[in-house]
A and B are shown apart, each in its own frame.
Chain A
């Protein structure tokens, strides 16, 4: 009797879990279908962004989304015919970006997504919409780093497995003492405590941290351009139609000044000298 009760309870739990996932699955499908059929029924569009990068893509504690990537995503979605309240933002962690796109979980991804050849094997890009460089964030009173060679005697911090971390290890400064943490915020406390001398990644991301209210005046960007990162908007491979539409939207955004305003608003407080909007190179 006891056993059969337990079995029944377990079966009920499994059934519940199954229906729950089934619901989730069908909802997602409906949302992406709505996006795919485009003009027919415009209910919602799912866009991938980062949730943890201040200045670029950040989910605030009250559930709002802020940042440059968010502004670009909103503008592009508007050009595709979606109002801001029809946009559903989904977190696109770096390692999952290709799969989110390939599975149709998101329509496109605006998440500091550098265009490169290996990624293009899995997805297509529109853009680029932003040119960033790998740079360093140091304490505001630190003047000891002026060139890349100075890094070899320094303690650096970056994110585990990121391209920036690999660049340091393999080419830029192989002798630098590099600490890798899961997130940039973990590095910031070390930088403040003088356990590390510099935090390295794309200057746009660094500027976002430096521009945060709680960090104002504590850190500064060194201004070394150690690499070129062309951020593109990732979308499903072979979707030429969407690519053309997004490229047109990006061109319009630069032309009407919304691009410049978004950069100033989100990254400006860190005295970040942004590059002019890059030429669109992806697609025809």
Chain B
């Protein structure tokens, strides 16, 4: 039943490695971008608050496929923005990371904002009374505590991101979902076995992530 795996024709591990790379780059990118967005949404400047709110509500309500296709068809093919890549393989990967970061950043932002709400107002007031600026209050007092509170929700975002990387197949990034399409095209007699292989692959990626970060979340949570 699984003999198509032994033909050596399909590099399943290689494809999943691209999935892992996509996930890691986008996770790093969206953590940074999401933190910036969260900072904007709680900042005292109305313009920044407005931008943060508008961005989050527009981007998170846009289907990811549309975002990633827009990156490829719009940015790259029509406007010629290739993010420094020479081949479609490179540009596709970079555009996918861009799209995934833009999308996942909004979820990171909202998770963080909920974390910021767990920090008692008195802490920020005390910090401000000591003469710290807004930026200092945020980075020294509020965010460190907020992050520790939101590891569990961020884990969900990370797991969703891992699975969302399959959308990159839309613009031809050679990750797991694209290989699955090839295998379905070539091995229609083993359709369900092919599905099983890829379902298992994603379980292997996401289950340990959930378990590990669940444990971390318990360890670092601020006990109040």
A-to-B contact residues, CB < 8 Å: 94-95, 97-99, 118-119, 121-122, 155, 160-163, 165-166, 177-182, 186, 189-190, 193, 195-196
Contacts and interface: CB of A to CB of B under 8 A. Distances in A.
A76 B80 CA distance: 48
Given A118-B187, A180-B178, A195-B77, A160 B88 contact: no
Contacts of B69: 186
A127 B172 CA distance: 33
B186 A118 contact: yes
Contacts of A95: 181, 184-185, 188, 191
A182 B173 CA distance: 12
Given A122-B189, A161-B181, A179 B92 contact: yes
A178 B188 CA distance: 24
B188 A119 contact: yes
Contacts of A163: 185-186
A160 B172 contact: yes
Interface residues of B, number: 26
Contact of B178 (A98, A119, A160): A160
Contact of B169 (A119, A121, A160): A160
B191 A118 contact: no
Nearest to A186: B73
A161 B169 CA distance: 9
Contacts of A178: 88, 172
Contact of A97 (B92, B170, B188): B188
Interface of B: 69, 72-73, 76-78, 80, 87-89, 92, 169-172, 178, 180-182, 184-189, 191
A121 B92 contact: no
Contacts of A189: 73, 77-78
A229 to B, nearest CB: 13
B77 A193 contact: yes
B182 to A, nearest CB: 4
B182 A166 contact: yes
Contacts of A97: 188
B178 A161 contact: yes
B146 to A, nearest CB: 33
B188 A190 contact: no
Contacts of A121: 188-189
A122 B178 CA distance: 23
B73 A177 contact: no
A177 B88 contact: yes
Contacts of A155: 88
A128 B98 CA distance: 45
Given A166-B186, A189-B78, 12 more contacts: A95-B185, A95-B191, A97-B188, A98-B189, A122-B189, A180-B171, A181-B171, A181-B172, A186-B73, A189-B77, A195-B76, A195-B77
A165 B88 CA distance: 14
A151 to B, nearest CB: 14
A193 B72 CA distance: 13
Contact of A160 (B78, B170, B191): B170
Report, nearest first, the 8 A-B pairs whose CB atoms are least far apart. A161-B181, A180-B172, A121-B189, A195-B77, A179-B88, A161-B182, A98-B188, A190-B77
A160 B187 contact: no
Contact of B191 (A98, A186, A193): A98
